[in-house]
Amino acid sequence: MDNIVLIVLDSVRRDFFHKNMTSAPAELRKDFVDFKKCSSIYTSTFASHYTMFFGDYLNKAKNDSFPAQLKKFGFKNRSFCNGAIITGYPLKDIVEKNLKKNRPYRETMVDDLGLFPEFNWEREMFGKVFEDYHGAADDEQRNVPEKWKGYIRDNRKNKNFIFLHFWNAHHNYGINGHIEEKITGRNFHEIGKELIRRVKNNELTEKFVKDVYSKRINELLTIYIKDLIKILKETSLYQDSLIIITADHGEGLGDIGLIYNERFFYTYQKIFRNYCKIKKRLSFLPTFKELYYKWDFHTYYHNGSHDYQRMIPLLVKFPDNEFGGQYCDRKVSLFDIFNTIDELLPGRLDIQSRHGHSLYSRLKKPDEHIQEEELSYDPAEDEEIMKKRLRELGYLD
């Protein structure tokens, strides 16, 4: 296995992905294995990427990321991603409040992932306005960027790890290209809340929002994924490559529904958060963490704790197209990516905590009993970690 290509489709929900599979390149159905029950575990971009890169729950891994470890096997790393990925690296390494001063942390990630030289570290995570969101592999909308196509052509003789982060399905950004009165805002929370307001006021319909979202996913499949497969075949890299197509999380898209009053939960959110911490010690108390996340704020996009936001696609093409065209109904998760790469390499990766299982082993030994891990996290605690991280990076007051 001389090439590993990891494609993450930001904010892509599994049911909408499969809905558009009929128009996807035939190779996805013929050469890939479809793991139909994949969980992202987390519902935020940075936490999900931590899960993929480190094979552990957020900030728990003691091992290096798998991209960092691939270098000892002779892989050359190159990544095309935007600023949302930077927080997928350990919180413990962030020692400065100002991102510009945090050179060691930045250099570690640049070295591990092989970030494309044009990646602009000095920009805010979401830019001055959302249109400045920067650096993903599909920034040149509907025109596949030559930067990563050229890299693949120029490095066909190397052992490569290529990470492509496609973000244009992120629906509360993408919807702006389809409406007359554009939604402005500093980040996706502000834009998402305005989107919710317009839907509630019948300025936009739920069907319209879903149709836009589905169209963007269709474009990812029929333009970007199609071109990736084409360039890998042209350079004779396709056959021997391990290609993984997945997402960091899904979306709410109105399917969660408004259950409790939004203002009530904004007012009492600290109480609910502290209650969750107390419940960890006093297990007999009733749970409120699900209740806490059923407010209106999360119903049209992500960062809640709902299954719709953890339902993600996972398609894998193994070297020599082994198992091509099959599907797997067993429960899998983003933890399994680290374990799969570990099994297919000539040597072993360092993984202290063995969460998940190799996807290759699941297919090679389908009848073997595997103890399924109960995937769980505390969404209230998760939100606190995220806010702490963003605060230390200087994005929150």
What does the pLDDT look like over 98-118, one tens digit per residue?
A: 444 444 455 677 788 887 655
pLDDT digits (tens, 9 = 90+) for 384-394: 655 565 555 45
pTM over 0.85: no
pLDDT digits (tens, 9 = 90+) for 26-69: 999 999 999 999 999 888 888 889 899 999 887 788 888 999 99
pLDDT of residue 296: 45
Average pLDDT of 270-288? 71
- Strands 327-333 and 33-39 turn out to be parallel
Beta bridge partners of 164: 7, 80
Q: Where are the alpha helices (DSSP H) in the chain?
A: 14-19, 26-30, 45-54, 66-70, 103-113, 146-154, 171-174, 188-200, 206-219, 226-234, 262-281, 289-292, 307-310, 335-344, 359-364, 379-392
pLDDT of residue 111: 80
pLDDT of residue 358: 94
Average pLDDT of 235-241? 95
Beta bridge partners of 242: 4
pLDDT band at 87 (very low <50, low <70, confident <90, very high): low
SS3 311: strand
**Is residue 349 packed enough to be buried (19+ CB in 10 Å), middle (13-18) or exposed (0-12)?**
buried
Separation of alpha carbons 141 and 139, rounded Å? 5
Average pLDDT of 313-340? 95
Q: Which CATH number fits domain 3-250+307-392: 3.40.640.10, 3.40.720.10, 3.40.50.720, 3.90.1150.10?
A: 3.40.720.10
pLDDT digits (tens, 9 = 90+) for 110-163: 788 887 655 554 444 444 443 444 467 886 666 777 889 999 999 999 999 999
- How far, rounded to the nearest angstrom, does the alpha carbon of residue 349 sit from its chain's CA centroid? 22
Are 50 and 210 a contacting pair, CB within 8 Å?
A: no
Please indicate whether residue 180 or residue 130 has the higher confidence score (pLDDT).
180
pLDDT of residue 100: 44
Separation of alpha carbons 85 and 165, rounded Å? 9
Residue 328: left if φ>0, alpha if ψ -120 to 50, beta else—which one? beta
Separation of alpha carbons 270 and 293, rounded Å? 13
pLDDT of residue 237: 95
Residue ranges covered by each domain of the chain: 3-250+307-392
Tokens of 10: 């930001």
* 131-140, 217-226, 251-260, 280-289: least confident range: 131-140
pLDDT of residue 239: 95
Tally of CB atoms within 10 A around 319: 16
pLDDT of residue 316: 98
pLDDT at 294 over 50: no
What angle separates helix 379-392 from helix 45-54, to the nearest 10 degrees?
Answer: 100
* Amino acid symbol at 304: G
Dihedral pair phi/psi, residue 17, rounded to 5°: -65, -50
Average pLDDT, the chain: 79
